[in-house]
Amino acid sequence: MIKITAIGGHYEIGRNCTAIEVDDEVVILDMGIHLEHYINYTNDEDLRFAPSGEDLIKHDAIPNVNIIKDLWKKTKAIIVTHAHLDHIGAIPFLGDRFPNAGIYGSPYSIELLSAILKDEKINIGNKLIPKPVNSTFRISKNITIEFISVTHSTPQAVMVIVKTKYGDILYANDFKFDDTPTLGEKPNYEALKRIGASNNLKVLITNSLYADDPTHTPSESIAKEMVREVLLENDSKGKTVLITTFSSHIARLNSIISIGKRLNRKIILMGRSLTKYVHAAENVGLVNFSKDCRLITYGSQIKRFFEKESHPERYLFIVTGHQGEPQAVLGKLVNRNWLRFMPGDNVIFSSSVIPVENSIINREKLEKELLKYKVKIFKDVHVSGHAGRKDLKDLVLMVNPKYIIPIHGDEKKSLAMKELSIQLGYKEERIKILRNGNKFEIN
């Protein structure tokens, strides 16, 4: 028998975590933070891991794994799909509750997790085990895992097949179908079609964040062209130029740097999380930004740089702070006057605003302050890393699951995924919308 337990990320956006129980063995898929709840509780946008796990559970900032306490010792593996904190960020608090579980992920995901643990001086005791994308490996007598390469807004993201004697489960959390990625491999459509042809897929657990968006999510190559236009076709001569994006978006950073070199400016990356993600990517051989850029990690170093530098217009600054976070680099440059902004300076947001209250408020405040200096603001120089409704439709048709479980979406998103599934011919009883704490059993 297979039992699926929704621990986090079900009927909500964030703290993704699902347990798959096969007879007397368990695998956990993702173990992430709810970023908004974490920041609300800790008041720390930089995500330093000081609080206790129990405190974070009480504040709905990480998955409540206490609901599966009877499964802790039975858990053979924690599998992470990619390196975003809403998928790996709870492992430093919770990993050691599963003493028999190795932690598996793609090389980049494991390298980034290792860097977080090292930086925060946390020893969870679990073995970190990198596995290539598009690889298959056994974790126990009952469970074999297959990684399937997909595209997302951080490198080496995978879908996970949990293979059992009762049938297979496909965990397809954050992804999009990008046929022209600017870094890394294309989606492995052959593997997905093979799953569909096998007629052995019992359950598809799928991201539903954009299930209500009728479009196909554009390629990252479109975002690269948007970056090119704003950097090269906009007159910035004699002006300071700053650009900010998601620290984990290595493909976007690669585009910014490669295009930015044509400006004949020195390129500097600034910020703690930015340098952490970049070093992880360099350590696994994805990029080599250090040969073209200077990296400055800490706020005190950044402040000293601007105190000494009288010609910021000679640089292209890539900084943290795309959501307007007060403690990120861009927020400090503006609110603490570390940089003297001048009329016509360029501030580029190569990101969207995450639709949660904190991000919306922080970005509005930051942009209002920037406009006082009469800077030129470029917003939404970005494409999403999440599948739109058309991509989700294509996935369902390719893999042909018996049951569908929407994940990583609130009520509106989950119901949109249910509606899509019904349009594709699924009966209502075949779509299981779970809430955290719910279980679903398959014989």
How open is the CA angle 401-404-408, to the nearest 5 degrees? Answer: 130
Helix axes 389-399, 411-423, angle to 10 degrees: 50
What's the pLDDT band for 261 if we cut at 50, 70, 90?
Answer: very high
The region of weakest confidence among 12-26, 318-332, 352-366, 399-413 is 352-366
Is the Cβ–Cβ distance between 370 and 347 less than 8 Å? yes
Tokens of 363: 């970005």
Phi, psi of 283, deg, nearest 5: -65, -25
Q: How confident is the model at residue 47 (pLDDT cuts 50, 70, 90)?
A: low
d(CA 62, CA 8): 8
Size of the chain, expressed as the number of residues it contains: 443
Which tens digits make up the pLDDT trace of 186-222?
A: 999 999 999 999 999 999 999 999 999 999 999 999 9
If you average pLDDT over residues 40-51, what whole number do you get? 66
Torsion angle (degrees, nearest 10) of CA 372, 373, 376, 377: -50
- Give the contacts of 224 (CB within 8 A, at least 6 positions apart): 182, 252, 255, 259
Task: Show Cβ contacts of residue 154 under 8 Å, excluding neighbours closer than 6 positions.
Answer: 82, 83, 84, 108, 246, 248, 249, 250, 385
Report the predicted TM-score, pTM, of the whole model to 2 decimal places.
0.94
Domains of the chain: 2-216+385-442 (3.60.15.10), 220-378 (3.40.50.10710)
Q: Taking each helix axis as running N to C, give the angle between helix 107-119 and helix 272-283, from 0 to 180 degrees, rounded to the nearest 10.
A: 130
Say if CB 362 and CB 170 are below 8 A apart. Answer: no
The yes-or-no verdict on residue 95 having pLDDT over 80 is yes
